[in-house]
Structure 1
Amino acid sequence: MKIATYNVNGVNGRLPVLLQWLKEAQPDIVCLQELKAPQERFPVNAINEAGYKAIWKGQKSWNGVAILTKDLDIVEVQDSLPGDPDDFQSRYIEAIIDNIVVCCLYLPNGNPYPGPKFDYKLAWLKRFKKRTNELIKMELPAILIGDFNIIPTPFDVHKPERWENDALFRTEVRKVYQDLMKKGWLDSIRTLYPEEKIYTFWDYLYKAYQRNAGIRLDHILLSPYLSSALQAGGVDSHVRGWEKSSDHAPVWIELKR
């Protein structure tokens, strides 16, 4: 089973890129972030024509998450992160697919630091951590997948000294990521490539992609009840070089089922 995540940075504006990648990569499950489209503008017909079912939670102008499946049934569990009924931002959707709990997330950026956006990020992370602990306690096969907006370690960023006061790299958010590892969640890509510089995002400015001056923001974490099934994975970094592509690249893993 091939499972992928892709921050599309505008699902309608970059629909040709998404469809081209789906045709090339043929993932069984895909989690999308940053749809930048209201609920009624999600291109469900084009997605269906490409061979995928979909559930999604849109939002006008920004945010938005979706889960796509190919030849697999999908049962939506919830379309928001529990814990704050006043949080209107579309950043989380959870479903059961092939007896796996798939948690697709678009974690808040948090910049500028310090400020209310960073405070919101920490509050969101607190709620997220609670949900992940529940999944561990229930002993469920689960996946945390998406754009975490967290650079886990200095090894995951080009020139880390420039990021010390950025909300993506603050010690507070990196600690939450490490706490997930301590609870038993497995960073699949880092597990497969412990010694390699791997990035999933390259800014549009300063020829960052051409210089490979990137950061690793997009992650696929496996619960202890799935970690032994991990077989392969990678980043489709070449997609970032396509015309009118997102500033993120798709990340994928393969599980033995």
Structure 2
Amino acid sequence: MRVATWNINGLKARLDFVLEWLEERQPDVVGFQELKMADDQFPSDTFKNAGYFALSHGQKAWNGVAILTKGEAECVQTGLPDQDEFGARLITAQSKGIRFTTVYCPNGKNLEHDDYPRKLAWFDSLREHLDATGDPKADEIICGDFNICPSDLDTWDAQSHIGGIFHTAAERQRMESVVEWGFSDLFRELHPDETAFTWWDYRGGAFHRKHGLRIDFILGTASIKDRLQSVTVDRDWRKKRGELKPSDHAPVYADLA
């Protein structure tokens, strides 16, 4: 079974790119983030023709998350309680015996911006939501763009980013709290010491200079971790393909037994 996550940075601009990736990689369940599209614009029929059942929690021009599955899925949650001001950022579905959540966590902008404390509060709400609705002994996955680098291994220049957005102690504590609920970072389970990135700025040749951040994760409960075979940061799909411009994020996928 292949599960995946990808911040696609605008589905309208990236649809053909995404369809090519689905055809080549054939994930069984995938979470998309940053759709930048309202639900009434979401191309469910296009994905159906590609072999996927789709659920979306969208928003015009900003944010937005979706889950695609081979076979039908039941949507069990959209959004976090009392966090509507941050937009469409969470969707949970039950599919193939797994409770699968994808999130597009707030960016925070910078430490002086009002969005920074709201980002921390959003993560607190996420942890409370897990406590209230989840079961760490069940098959659960949460994946997406978390907009936090959990450790210095997850950033291209740890020294220059000390204390900066995505790298603060408070953000890392929130990320740790989510993981400690009962998840494992599946990439780190297999690559504990590897420096690897999932996002690169479009500017300054960051991708080719390997100036990136690892902020996109697949987290799984113990029963999911026990099935883990491999985890891949799909760097090839961060590259331009013909006239198709990629997202600034790479897909990440995990293969489970």
The normalised TM-score by structure 1 is 0.94
For the pair 1:216 / 2:219, whether they are aligned, the reply is no
1:204 and 1:138 map into 2 onto residues whose CA distance is: 37
Measured at CA, do residues 104 and 232 of structure 1 come closer, stay the same or move farther in structure 2, by a change above 3 Å? same
The SS at the match of 1:225 is: helix
For the pair 1:54 / 2:73, whether they are aligned, the reply is no
Aligned partners of 1:105 and 1:145 also within 8 Å: yes
Aligned to 1:107: 105
> What is the deviation of 1:172?
0.5
> What is the deviation of 1:223?
1.3
Which blocks of at least 5 consecutive residues in structure 1 are unaligned?
A: none
For the pair 1:124 / 2:122, whether they are aligned, the reply is yes
Number of residue equivalences: 254
Cα deviations by residue, 1:105-126 (Å, 9 ceiling, x for unpaired)? 0000001212210111011000
The SS at the match of 2:40 is: helix
Which blocks of at least 5 consecutive residues in structure 2 are unaligned?
A: none
Residue identity over aligned pairs, in percent, reads 38
In the alignment, residue 248 of structure 1 is paired with which amino acid? H
Aligned to 1:200: 198
4+ runs deviating over 4 angstroms: 135-138
> What is the deviation of 1:86?
4.5
Q: Which runs of structure 2 are paired with 1:1-257 in the superposition (5 Å)?
A: 1-70=1-70, 72-82=71-81, 84=82, 86-87=84-85, 89-134=87-132, 137=135, 139-242=137-240, 243-256=244-257
> What is the deviation of 1:85?
6.1
Aligned partners of 1:135 and 1:142 also within 8 Å: no
Measured at CA, do residues 241 and 138 of structure 1 come closer, stay the same or move farther in structure 2, by a change above 3 Å? closer
> What is the deviation of 1:136?
5.3
The two structures, once aligned, show a CA RMSD in angstroms of 1.5
> What is the deviation of 1:131?
2.0
> What is the deviation of 1:162?
2.3
Cα deviations by residue, 1:192-234 (Å, 9 ceiling, x for unpaired)? 1112211100100110001111110100001123221111111
The normalised TM-score by structure 2 is 0.94
The SS at the match of 1:56 is: strand
Measured at CA, do residues 197 and 181 of structure 1 come closer, stay the same or move farther in structure 2, by a change above 3 Å? same
